[in-house]
Structure 1
Amino acid sequence: MTVSRHFVLAAGGTGGHMVPAAALAGELIRRGHGVALVSDERGVRFPGLFDDIQTHVLPAGRFGKNPLSWIKAGRQMLSGRSMAIELYRSFKPSAVIGFGGYPAMPAMLAAFARDIPTVIHEQNAVLGRVNRLVARKVDAIATSYAQVDRLKDAWSDKVHLVGNPVREAILALRAKPYPMLEPDGIFRVLVTGGSQGASVLSDVVPDGLAMLPVHFRRRMQVTHQARPEDIEKVRAKYLEHQIPAEIATYLPDMPEQLAWAHIVIARAGASTIAELTAAGRPAILVPLPIATDDHQTANAREIVEAGGARSIQQPNFTPNELAKQMQRLGLDTKALENAAKRARGCGRPNAARELADLVERLGDDAEARA
C-alpha cells in the first residue's frame, strides 16, 4: 500500500493518553497514511496498541514541585527536542498530534521549531498541564467535552469538539442493545478502577452491595478489578456476603465485560467515561480526589447532568451511600434502561474519524502553503 502522508503522535505513557492515540493511529493507517509514535518506555510497551507502528522513546523531564529538578528536566526536554527534529528530517510528518503528558512535550517543541502543523487532543474536561503549556502555539485544539475548564477564550477559534476516541471493540457495543434485565434474572455489576485498580472500590463495594435487599443481592454477578494487594481481601468479603464474584487484577476482555454489564462502578477517568458513553452503560462514579485539577469530577459532569450516571465524591463513598444509590438506580429496571440511554446520548462515536479529518485538513493547508 502506498503511504499518502506521515503523522507523528506524541503521548504520555498512561492509558488515558495511549488509547485515543492508538484509535487515531488505526484510523490514519486505514486511510493510507504512515504513523509513528513518540512516548516514554511505558507507552511504547503498552500491550496490544502499537504493535505494528514504529515507536520512539525520547528523553522528557518532568517539571515537579521542586525547582531544583527543573534544570535537569529542561536539559532532558532539549535533548528530546533535538532527537525529535532528527526524526522529522527523515520521517517528514504532515502534522504532529500531541495527547498530553510530559513525554509529548519534546515532540511538540520540535514541531514548533520545524514549523510543522500541530494539534493537541485533550481527553479530560480540564485542559491538562502540558497541553496548557503548548496551547497558545498549536494550530488546533481537539476536545472531548463541550465544556473544558482552563481553556482560554483567546483560543476559541481553533477549538474543535471531536470527542475521545475509543477502541473499535468498544465502539462496536454501540450497535448492540442494552442487555435485557429480567425481573428475576442475573444482575451483572462491573467494578473497575482503571488500569491500576482502586483500593477505595475494594474497601467499599463488597460491603455496600451486601447492604442491598436479599432478593436483589442473590441475583447479582460481580466482576471486580482490584489491585494485587487487595485481591484476597476482596475475595474474602464477597464470600462472606455470599455474592458471586470474579476478582482479577487486569481485565483484558474489557469490551466483553462491558457488553454484559447492567451497571458499572468506576473511577471517572477520561477513557472510562468515553467507553461508558460509547457503549451506553449507566454508572456510579467515584472521581479520584488527587487527580490534577480535580479533572475526574469535571469528566463526570456531562454524563451525570444527562442522567446517565451518579457521582459520589470519595469522602462520601461509604457502603451505606453506595447501597442507597444502587437501590435508586439498580432496583428500577426502567430507571436503569433510561440511564443507559442517557449515557449513550453523551457518546461521540465518530471521535477518531473527526480527529483524523482535522489532522488531514492541517496537512492539506501545509501542502498548500509549501
Structure 2
Amino acid sequence: MSKPRHFVLAAGGTGGHMVPAAALAAELIRRGHYVALVSDERGVRFPDLFEGIQTHILPAGRLGGGPLGYYRAAREMWRGRAMAIELYKTFRPAAVIGFGGYPALPALLAAFNQKIPTAIHEQNAVLGRVNRLVAGKVDAIATSYAKVERLKESLNDKTHLVGNPVRDSVIAIRAKPYPLLEEDGIFRVLVTGGSQGASVLSKVVPEGLAMLPVAFRRRLQVTHQARVEDIEACRAKYKELDIAADLATYLPDLPEHLAWSHLVIARAGASTLSELTCAGRPAILVPLPSATDDHQTVNAREMTLAGGARTIDQRAFTPVELAKQMQRLGLDPAALQNAAVRARGCGRPDAARDLADLVESLGETNGDLPIGVPLPAQFREKAAFA
C-alpha cells in the first residue's frame, strides 16, 4: 500500500463529470488517500455521490457572451484560481485531477501556478473545451475511448486509455447474467435522459411503445426518468395507453433498474454509455443534437459499430421508428442477447483502478503524509468557500 496522500478532484456540475470523479474518489479513499472535491453549486447537489468528502465551491465563469461576458468569466476564473491556491497551501495535494467543465479550470490553473502535478480525464469521444485549453500543460491525459477527436497527436505520449469510471454498483452488474427473456415473459425497458433528463424521450417513447403489437405491449414494464416539467404529462400518456410504467425525475437506484432491464432507451452521454457497456445492456440511443461538438453522436459510435446499440438521430426519432427498432430487438430474444454480449465487450470495468494507478504515479514524490496521522478536523468535514 502506498503512503497516504492528498488529491484534489475538480469537476463541472453535470453528472457526466461528477460520476467518474466520484468513482475515482472512492477508489483513492480505498487506497488510504484523502480526497477533496472542487466544483460549483450544481456539482455538490448530487445526492450521495461525495458523502463524507470535503467539498469546495469555487467561482468559475463560462466563456461566452461577447467581450463583456469574456471579461466577467476571466474575472471569476481568476478569483477561483486565487482561492484554490489558498486551499493548496493548506491541503497540499499530491496531484490535481480535472474532469472537465468550467469549474475545473480555476483548480487546474492554481495547480500550474503552484507546480503541482496535474492530469485531466476526458469522458467523451471528443475532447471538451476546458480539457482542450489545458491539455498541453497537464502531466497526463486519461481518455475513455481509444480514439478521441480534437486531441492533438503531439500529446499521444502522455495520453492513457483508461475508460470512464463507474460506480461499484454498476460494476457488480457485470458479474450477473443477462436477464432471462421468455417469449411470453415481462419485457423490462429503462428510459433515461441522463442527469438532465430528455423531453424528447417523454414525448416519443410512450407513443412508440403504443404502436407495438398488442401481445408485446402487454408484456412491457417501463421505468422512465423524466424531467420535472414533463413527468405528469408523460405519466398520463402511459396511463391512457395502458402501458405499465413507473416514472421519476431522479433514479437514485439506477444500477438496480439497469440490472433487470432487457433494453435501455437513452441519450448517449459518457456516463450512460460507460454504465451500459460495463453492465452489458443493449440500447437504443438518441444523441443530444445540441451537445458541444456533437460529442454524443461520436460517443455512440463504438457501441453501435460493435452491435450493442442502435443509434437514431433525434430528427428521425419518431414513434414509428422507435416501434420498428423495438420490434427488431424485442421480438427476437437471441438478437437481444447477442446485442447484450456485444455491448458488454465495449465495457472497461477497471477504469477507476487504472485511473487511480495513473493518478498515484503522478503524486509519488509530492504531498506525502505520515502513515497513521489523521487530517485536522476541518479537513474531515465538508467545507465550502463562500
TM-score bin (small chain): over 0.9
AA at the equivalent of 1:227: R
> Structure 1 length as normaliser, TM-score?
0.97
Deviation per CA, 1:4-47: give whole Å up to 9, x if none: 11110000111111110010000001101111111111212321
Q: CA deviation at 1:124?
A: 0.6
Deviation per CA, 1:47-80: give whole Å up to 9, x if none: 1011211111111111114222111111111111
Aligned residue number for residue 93 of structure 2: 93
| Aligned partners of 1:3 and 1:34 also within 8 Å | no
Deviation per CA, 1:159-178: give whole Å up to 9, x if none: 10000001111111011110
| Aligned partners of 1:124 and 1:295 also within 8 Å | yes
Aligned residue number for residue 144 of structure 2: 144
Q: CA deviation at 1:246?
A: 1.1
Deviation per CA, 1:113-150: give whole Å up to 9, x if none: 11111000000111000000000000100000111110
- What is the RMSD of the two structures over their aligned residues, measured on CA atoms? 1.5
Structure 2 matches for 1:202-281, cutoff 5 A?
A: 202-281=202-281
Deviation per CA, 1:194-227: give whole Å up to 9, x if none: 1222110111111111111111111111111111
Cα distance in structure 2, aligned partners of 1:293 and 1:49: 28
Cα distance in structure 1, aligned partners of 2:66 and 2:335: 49
Aligned residue number for residue 353 of structure 2: 353
Residue 332 (structure 1) aligned with residue 352 (structure 2) = no
Residue 63 (structure 1) aligned with residue 83 (structure 2) = no
Q: What is the percentage of aligned positions where both structures have the same residue?
A: 76
Q: CA deviation at 1:107?
A: 0.5
Cα distance in structure 1, aligned partners of 2:3 and 2:312: 48
Cα distance in structure 2, aligned partners of 1:188 and 1:45: 30
Cα distance in structure 1, aligned partners of 2:79 and 2:278: 39
Residue 163 (structure 1) aligned with residue 146 (structure 2) = no
Structure 2 matches for 1:1-370, cutoff 5 A?
A: 4-364=4-364
Decide which moves more: 250-259 or 343-352: 250-259
Cα distance in structure 2, aligned partners of 1:347 and 1:83: 38
Cα distance in structure 2, aligned partners of 1:248 and 1:300: 25
Cα distance in structure 2, aligned partners of 1:367 and 1:323: 56
AA at the equivalent of 1:339: A
Q: CA deviation at 1:3?
A: 6.7
Cα distance in structure 1, aligned partners of 2:365 and 2:146: 26
Deviation per CA, 1:87-133: give whole Å up to 9, x if none: 11111111100000100001000111111110000001110000000
- Displaced runs of 4 or more, over 6 A: none
| Aligned partners of 2:93 and 2:367 also within 8 Å | no
Cα distance in structure 2, aligned partners of 1:172 and 1:215: 33
* Unaligned segments of structure 2, at least 5 residues: 369-386
| Aligned partners of 1:300 and 1:311 also within 8 Å | yes
The SS at the match of 2:264 is strand
| Aligned partners of 1:190 and 1:222 also within 8 Å | yes
AA at the equivalent of 2:316: N
Aligned residues: 368
* Unaligned segments of structure 1, at least 5 residues: none
The SS at the match of 2:363 is helix
| Aligned partners of 2:179 and 2:260 also within 8 Å | yes
Q: Choose between structure 1 and 2 for higher RCO, CA contacts under 8 A separated by at least 6 residues.
A: 2
The SS at the match of 1:41 is coil
The SS at the match of 1:85 is helix
Cα distance in structure 1, aligned partners of 2:142 and 2:294: 20
